[in-house]
Structure 1
Amino acid sequence: MHRAPQMTTPWASRDLQRAWEKSYQDHRKKVQNAQPLVDTHPPQTYSHLYLKVKKLKMEEERLSIIDKDNCLLLQRVASAMKTRGQTDGQNNLTQRSLNRKTREQALKKVQKQSKVLPERLKRRVLVWSTEMAEGLGCHGQTSLQMRTDLEKRS
């Protein structure tokens, strides 16, 4: 069995070989310069998602209040240390009310009415008695009805 003779290169001519090598070199350059189509980078991190500005501001305000209170406490302790803990035991605070004037006016009005009431009762003559109402048969009637009944009778 004899085989047909094979050529050592697959090209029939040098022109075909050059054309094939040129296209192959172009292909190799394109492959080397190709960019990846799949994005393999991690996602972007946004600072507003991790850095809580309002929380930091509130924490800073809280710490400033604590610092202020500590400073006041330190001043009190320092003044107590200077005076060696001696106190005068006096309290110079006076209680002040925003409603004082109104309360005093109301109290004066009530006192004035209290003085006038006994005098009015002394001057008042008893017009109606329970015996008189029972004698006239006015049980269960209102005072207005009783007055009209008495006026009719007299």
Structure 2
Amino acid sequence: MHRSYQPMKPVTNRYLQQRWDQNNYENHRRRVTDALPVVDTKGVRTPAHIQLKLKKLQLHHERLSAIDRDNRRLTSKVADIFGSKGLVDHQNQYHLRSLNADRRREELLSISRQNQAIYHRITSRQSEYRHQLWLDDWERAERWREDISRYPRGPAEKQRSCRKVKFAAAEDGERSTSCSNTSTNRS
């Protein structure tokens, strides 16, 4: 710090003013260090009705009472089983029955009636195709083809079915052929 103290305002005694200013400054520094925060950053205190959660406790107690009731029921059943002479009731006295069975049966009946009606309609119709005309037309076309062909089909098919076979038992180098229609020997 500078040797001579220069006060802000004109004073009669500079040393006293310096002492007072120093005293004020120390008081100010002490108050700053002792100051508490003005903004509360702790957060809001949780209300008691939220901390306790009565509904959750009630549900927990109801669940425990249901468990106790089921346990009592099971223990009574086990006691009845031990009290009996080991007989097991394994017969069901009820028959499974669908609530929708009648409606499904009606739908199946209506579908079968519709199928029967379709079948009768199909079988009662006369065919629109004339099979006999097709056969006659085919025979006519075959006759025309045989008439206009240079080599008729009949003999060619007969020739194709004949096979030349050399038998091992043939004597003097004779060859014999066999056909599916007739068997002839050639030399």
Task: Bin the TM-score by the shorter chain.
Answer: 0.3 to 0.5
- Relative to the length of structure 2, the TM-score reads 0.40
The TM-score normalised by the length of structure 1 is: 0.48
The structure with the greater share of residues assigned to helix is 1
Larger Cα-atom Rg: 2
